[in-house]
Amino acid sequence: MKEIKENKHLKTRFSKLKRDTLIYLAGFIDGDGSLLAQIVHRKDYKHEFQIRISVCFYQHKKRAWFLRWVGKQLGYGTLSKRQSSTWVWTIVEDNAVKDLILEILPFLRMKRKLGHLILNIIDSKKRVETKADLLKVMKLVDETANHTDSKNRVWTSLAAENYWDTGEKPISSRSSKKSANSNSL
């Protein structure tokens, strides 16, 4: 792992955060957070797919206060229930995710490469016009799986391509409600 290099001139919506807080959050994300890129099937989207990018902080419901502290520091995101006993603080807006990753990137150790990849996905998303463009972004999303322990991928670039060709959906290994291709580390 290369030495940490910081860009002192970086200006993002999170630049007001203390350096200590950014380092702490990087450690927490490396341990128990997620940098997520997901292919989500949505009829109302152009080419019927959304590339959903998010940063998630998970915690047992009895420590939801910690997620509220994270949210207060960030000033962005929402608190929601994930499972019966797990709550999650999520940031989904692309530019907010980009800003946060830019700030914590120098302090991440395990998820730094994944962070770079997700920044690449966010930038590539903005230039999508054709199905071919979207497919390229989907392939980058596929790549994030190499950096994660994800086991429940449903929508991949291949599945999406097949869907465009044949109208067939992949068989979900989980609940049929789940259509997200969740790549969390």
Residues that bind a second copy (CB under 8 A): 1, 4, 20, 23-33, 59-60, 63, 66, 69, 107, 109-110, 149
Q: Would you tell me the crossing angle of helices 19-32 and 64-74 to the nearest 10 degrees?
A: 130
Nearer to a second copy, 85 or 173 (CB): 85
The least distance separating a second copy from the CB of residue 19, rounded to whole angstroms, comes to 8
The least distance separating a second copy from the CB of residue 49, rounded to whole angstroms, comes to 29
Nearer to a second copy, 23 or 92 (CB): 23
The least distance separating a second copy from the CB of residue 97, rounded to whole angstroms, comes to 19
For β-strands 86-91 and 78-81, DSSP reports them as antiparallel
DSSP 31: H
Q: Is 80 helix (H, G, I), strand (E, B) or coil?
A: strand
Nearer to a second copy, 110 or 135 (CB): 110
The least distance separating a second copy from the CB of residue 8, rounded to whole angstroms, comes to 15
Q: Is 69 exposed, middle or buried (0-12, 13-18, 19+ CB in 10 A)?
A: middle
Q: Is 33 helix (H, G, I), strand (E, B) or coil?
A: strand
